[in-house]
Amino acid sequence: MKRVFSASMFIFLLTLLTGTSTVAAGKIGNFEIEGLISAASPMALISELEKKLEVNVVEINLKNTESGWPVFAIEFDPGQLSREDIEKTIATIEDPAGQKYKVHKGPPINNAAFTDEELKAMEIFAPTTPDIAKVTNPIASSDESLARGKEIFEINCSTCHGTNGSGQGPASHGITTFPRQLWSWYNTDSGTDAYLYWFITNGRNEMPPWGLILSDNERWDVINYVKTLKKPE
């Protein structure tokens, strides 16, 4: 299995995160992060780090960085925190697959083989994780939910999936994995909710991990809406 967080839309999408600023005046430092195993990893790291310290993760660059490691641009107040404080805190946080993160120091290791530890962690976070089966949709597919879902879809999803769910939105030309027709989910019952929630939350290949951008409820609203997208006759 290769690393799954290759979404080229990441940088663009993550600039949306900066709306939740908690740091008054900040310096931005680049941190190279080791230990990102799954598509859920950047999300977990950001939320834990921002919970533990007064920092904002303002940008993530997962691809083609100079060192080969993903680079997190982190804003902090140098009067309150040092680089070392941030590095130490990152080292206390665990990837959802159970491996510790750390800040990379030293030469680039592009194309280095995965360590046994990394391979083990990837296995734990395989798509068959039992977590997929556990969630149930708390939001009924009411007119209100569908109206919210439609708006969320048109802003966030239609560029790739098309406004009608055809998978042929304007941005689908430039990407290597086909953004799927969403019609296959038309009118499906609650049995598909957990999969849709998991997929939309974590993303895969060029499908961004919406758990970073949309709230839980917004993701459920958009799932309700996706289930109304029908293949034109």
CB-CB contact of 211 with 43 (8 Å): yes
Which of residues 135 and 171 has its CB atom nearest to ligand HEC in the complex? 171
Shortest Å, Cβ 209 to ligand HEC: 10
Cα-based torsion angle of the residue sequence 5, 9, 12, 16 in order, rounded to the nearest 10 degrees = -70
Which of residues 104 and 219 has its CB atom nearest to ligand HEC in the complex? 219
Which of residues 114 and 185 has its CB atom nearest to ligand HEC in the complex? 185
Distance, in Å, from the CA atom of 17 to the CA atom of 14, rounded to the nearest integer, reads 5
Shortest Å, Cβ 161 to ligand HEC: 5
Shortest Å, Cβ 191 to ligand HEC: 14
Burial class of residue 40 (count of CB atoms within 10 Å of its CB; 0-12, 13-18, 19+)? buried
What is the binding site for ligand HEC (CB under 6 A)? Answer: 9, 156-157, 159-161, 171, 175, 177, 179-180, 182, 184, 196, 199-200, 204-208, 210, 222, 226
Which of residues 36 and 200 has its CB atom nearest to ligand HEC in the complex? 200
Which amino acid type is present at position 169?
A: G
Shortest Å, Cβ 138 to ligand HEC: 17
Q: Which of 167, 214, 194 is nearest to 16 (CA)?
A: 214
How open is the CA angle 60-176-150, to the nearest 5 degrees? 75
Distance, in Å, from the CA atom of 112 to the CA atom of 207, rounded to the nearest integer, reads 25
Which of residues 205 and 228 has its CB atom nearest to ligand HEC in the complex? 205
Q: Which of 41, 49, 58, 44 is nearest to 6 (CA)?
A: 41
Shortest Å, Cβ 186 to ligand HEC: 12
CB-CB contact of 176 with 167 (8 Å): no
Distance, in Å, from the CA atom of 161 to the CA atom of 165, rounded to the nearest integer, reads 5
Shortest Å, Cβ 90 to ligand HEC: 28
Which of residues 86 and 122 has its CB atom nearest to ligand HEC in the complex? 122
